[in-house]
Structure 1
Amino acid sequence: MTFSDFASPETKAAGAAPSSLEVVHAFDDFMRAFESFKEVNDERLAEIEQRLSPDPVTSEKLARLDDALDRQQRLLDDLALKGRRPALEAAGAPARLVTREHKAAFDAYVRRGEVSSLKGLESKALVAGTDAQGGYLVPEETEREIGRKLAEVSPIRAIASVQQVTSSVFRKPFATEGFASGWAAETAARAQSATPALDELAFPAMELFAMPAATQTLLDDAAVDLDQWIAQEVETAFAEQESVAFVTGDGVTRPQGFLTPDKVANASWSWGSIGYVATGAAGAFAASNPSDRLLDLVYALRSGYRRNAHFVMNRRTQATVRKLKDADGRYLWEPPATAGAEATLMGFPLVEAEAMPDVAADAHAIAFGDFRRGYLVVDRIGVRTLRDPFTSKPYVLFYTTKRVGGGVQDFDAIKTLRFSAS
């Protein structure tokens, strides 16, 4: 098996929905690439042991195989995503009259700018929907499709909790001091329970926008499903913005990311901060037993959180971790067991999030935790589209907005690995 076998996997992703045979072949290619990667990495480690440094040719070959492995993983993810993507509305499927009316009215608005039908429908629904107030609500099935696609391609949203709201701020109370509890005999007196101290977390919904453009020829083509076109056009833009905000957002004009709160050594952790474990070396893993720090990170998390925990890192950090072995010579990183599954690190699923920082001095490049309990995504119901045929003639712009918030809801459920001496 040579590197050329894995050099151009993207060509297999072209076309319509993938067949099961195509997915199987792609998965087989991925596994062969991983076996080749392990062979070359073992060769590199042997050279380091014998000569204290690897042969440059071996290092270059390993880097190429590592890139090929990343491409094969992306191809598998794309094929799995296409396989899960149904049509927006099945042919002949029953639909409620109001939904059909809204879809038809929205189609007329998108294609020709007609607003009278939409105004009537949204007035009946007690929704203020005029151009001056930000556009019109997209049909329900289009909103659901946008949300479903975001859940598949936005890495943090896929593993976090998601709460739909109708207000601009979602407030979640929590007890800073729990109820008094204890043991007592059947007839013994019970002490009066203390009143718990309550506080609340606020998650404001920020405006996320995308502005796809279309030609009038596209809008005039009756064969084009404009609902699906809008959903597909805004999917990537929304997912890219969310992916960054949910990791490093400042909480001012965008959601607060899980790396934004203060980070302290896990031994000094307190509510409101994120605990970290240090690697023992600035900008790198420790020279001896580097995998021990990953083990420390895993067990920095309480057992109740570990059951549903994920590792989160970007692809460059994953390339570094992929080379690590345990004391018995087994690789810590394992490829997905089946097509569409996730790779694992030390037995825990690994999520690739490009917004995570690279390995560098004092960088928190790896996160580990139960993100379902630790991070909350808030979606305000309603996606709006404003048709703009004037700004970029001859193109028609569709200013599409969605309100999204987010932040840490359990500060004990997420830990990070800091690449520092302490």
Structure 2
Amino acid sequence: MTDNTDLETQRLETKAGGNVGAAFEEFMRAFEAYKDTNDERLADLERRSAADPLIDDKLARLDRALDETKRVADRLAIKAQRPQLGTGGALETAAVEEHRRAFEDYVRKGETTNLSRLEAKALAVSTNSGADGGYLVPPETERAVISALKDISPIRAIASVRQVSGSVYKKPFATTGFATGWVAETATRSQTTTPTLAELSFPTMELYAMPAATATLLDDSAVNIDEWIAEEVRDTFAQQEGTAFVSGDGSNKPKGFLDYTKVADGSWSWGNIGFIKTGVDGAFPAAGPDKLIDLVYTLKAGYRAGGTFVFNRGTQAAIRKMKDEDGHYIWQPASAAGEPSLLLGYPVVESEDMPTIAVDSFSVAFGDFRRGYLIVDRVGIRVLRDPYSSKPYVLFYTTKRVGGGVQDFNAIKLLKFEE
């Protein structure tokens, strides 16, 4: 996200006054203005077979405004739902509170005695702990980071997520099943066969962020250290994860769903991702909605029920202009802040890591990602305090281990922009 985009987001948040309802109303006004301008563009095309450049420019501005107002409304909705960290209270156990205080002493002052004692007591020390690998953050801080990642990491929000304590998660699946069928009440039953099993492996890889703090910030008792660390690392983690889950090559990072072998859906087999073509190089055909409908119906009914579209902002801008044969827009705005927009009745997730529309690009994905893509989180986020490398700043080398890959190759299909 660019600095200009951040400034525009801040301006819109200020204009909304932190009110989710006001921000969402602004989004709906932007959508109505967008529809009116696009209708004007389509009418101009019918009259003159060419669009007015001024109308195109206005439509592009409204398209950007639509994205920004939706982003602001969603961000305010998430903020309103996010719990505060480190507030203590009756529900916080003595052990968790002790860990939090020890962790705060470590972050603020570099004091390790209490944390070392607690981790040794909990049998949580490994070969990657202590002075070499840092110390585990309190459980509430880890929950806050993971929760925030789900809010802002597009694929994590729609995929399956499993926590593990080891470095690799292995999932068996059957390549052939038990013999089965219908039989008369007294007829002879054939002996069932043993299923043939194979195994999918999802190794976890180390992801890191390194926020820096001043001595003034660490000395300020009013600063909630748990919240500061969670806020500093979550955007970095989310950006790196988002790219890996889409296009990661599996080398020291998760394997993205676009990195698997892709085959025409008519020749699909397990282990590959199926696709259909638009029929036009680097563009949607004139009957654009038809190919999106075809993409939806490449999935079996059981997967369509949980289907979600995934594409980037540029592709969404092209799709927003499309209408069905009855003149209705196929893209519809969210019904409330924090909810996804809809395309052909299915949720839309915007991921800037999806390819921009070009010749032979796979710019649109559709599928049941909860069944299709698995994210594996190893329990524990670690922090190593480094006051020496960048004096006068204190660095906090923060790591988590995460893996990912396709777990059901039936569940995800792609649209290829090729003739």
Aligned with 1:92 (options 73, 76, 89): 89
**Maintained 8 Å contact 1:10/1:71:** no
Shift of 1:133: 3.1
Q: Partner of 2:74 in structure 1?
A: 77
Aligned residues: 411
Q: Partner of 1:64 in structure 2?
A: 61
Aligned with 2:347 (options 346, 349, 353): 349
Alpha-carbon distance between aligned partners in 2 of 1:194 and 1:361, rounded to the nearest angstrom: 47
Alpha-carbon distance between aligned partners in 1 of 2:123 and 2:144, rounded to the nearest angstrom: 23
- Render the CA deviation track for 1:103-157: whole Å, top value 9, x for unaligned: 1111111111111111111111112264443011111111111111111111100
Shift of 1:73: 1.1
Shift of 1:223: 1.2
Instruction: Map 1:151-170 onto structure 2 (within 5 A).
Output: 151-170=150-169
Alpha-carbon distance between aligned partners in 1 of 2:205 and 2:9, rounded to the nearest angstrom: 38
Aligned with 1:339 (options 329, 337, 340): 337
Q: Partner of 2:171 in structure 1?
A: 172
Alpha-carbon distance between aligned partners in 1 of 2:245 and 2:175, rounded to the nearest angstrom: 25
Does residue 1:277 correspond to 2:276, yes or no? yes
Classify 1:156/1:8 alpha carbon distance in 2 versus 1 (closer, same or farther; 3 Å): closer
Alpha-carbon distance between aligned partners in 2 of 1:31 and 1:98, rounded to the nearest angstrom: 48
Aligned with 2:359 (options 355, 358, 361): 361
Identity of aligned residues (%): 58
Does residue 1:261 correspond to 2:260, yes or no? yes
Shift of 1:74: 1.1
**How high is the TM-score relative to the length of structure 2?**
0.95
Instruction: Map 1:132-151 onto structure 2 (within 5 A).
Output: 132-151=131-150
> Aligned partner of 2:155: which letter?
I
> Aligned partner of 1:249: which letter?
G
Classify 1:392/1:85 alpha carbon distance in 2 versus 1 (closer, same or farther; 3 Å): same
**Maintained 8 Å contact 1:142/1:228:** yes
Alpha-carbon distance between aligned partners in 1 of 2:163 and 2:88, rounded to the nearest angstrom: 29
Alpha-carbon distance between aligned partners in 1 of 2:397 and 2:407, rounded to the nearest angstrom: 31
- Render the CA deviation track for 1:353-410: whole Å, top value 9, x for unaligned: 1100100111110100000000000000010000000000000000000000000000
- 3-state SS, counterpart of residue 36 of structure 1: helix
Alpha-carbon distance between aligned partners in 1 of 2:197 and 2:392, rounded to the nearest angstrom: 57
**Maintained 8 Å contact 2:116/2:130:** no
**Maintained 8 Å contact 2:149/2:238:** yes
Classify 1:14/1:399 alpha carbon distance in 2 versus 1 (closer, same or farther; 3 Å): farther
Shift of 1:189: 1.0
Instruction: Map 1:16-415 onto structure 2 (within 5 A).
Output: 18=18, 22-90=19-87, 92-128=89-125, 130-287=129-286, 289-415=287-413
- Render the CA deviation track for 1:166-218: whole Å, top value 9, x for unaligned: 00000000001111110111111111111111100000000000000000111
Alpha-carbon distance between aligned partners in 1 of 2:329 and 2:370, rounded to the nearest angstrom: 27
- 3-state SS, counterpart of residue 32 of structure 1: helix
**How high is the TM-score relative to the length of structure 1?**
0.95
Alpha-carbon distance between aligned partners in 2 of 1:136 and 1:246, rounded to the nearest angstrom: 27
Classify 1:17/1:101 alpha carbon distance in 2 versus 1 (closer, same or farther; 3 Å): farther
> Aligned partner of 1:205: which letter?
T
- Render the CA deviation track for 1:224-268: whole Å, top value 9, x for unaligned: 111111011001000000000000001111000011101111111
Q: Partner of 1:4 in structure 2?
A: none
Alpha-carbon distance between aligned partners in 2 of 1:89 and 1:120, rounded to the nearest angstrom: 21
- Answer with 28-37 or 375-384: which moved more: 28-37
> Aligned partner of 2:348: which letter?
L
Alpha-carbon distance between aligned partners in 2 of 1:68 and 1:94, rounded to the nearest angstrom: 43
Q: Over aligned residue pairs, what C-alpha RMSD do you find?
A: 1.6
Alpha-carbon distance between aligned partners in 1 of 2:103 and 2:146, rounded to the nearest angstrom: 19
- 3-state SS, counterpart of residue 337 of structure 2: coil
**Maintained 8 Å contact 2:274/2:414:** yes
Alpha-carbon distance between aligned partners in 1 of 2:90 and 2:156, rounded to the nearest angstrom: 30
Alpha-carbon distance between aligned partners in 2 of 1:107 and 1:355, rounded to the nearest angstrom: 36
Q: Partner of 2:3 in structure 1?
A: none
* Unaligned ranges ≥5, structure 1: 1-6
Shift of 1:321: 0.5
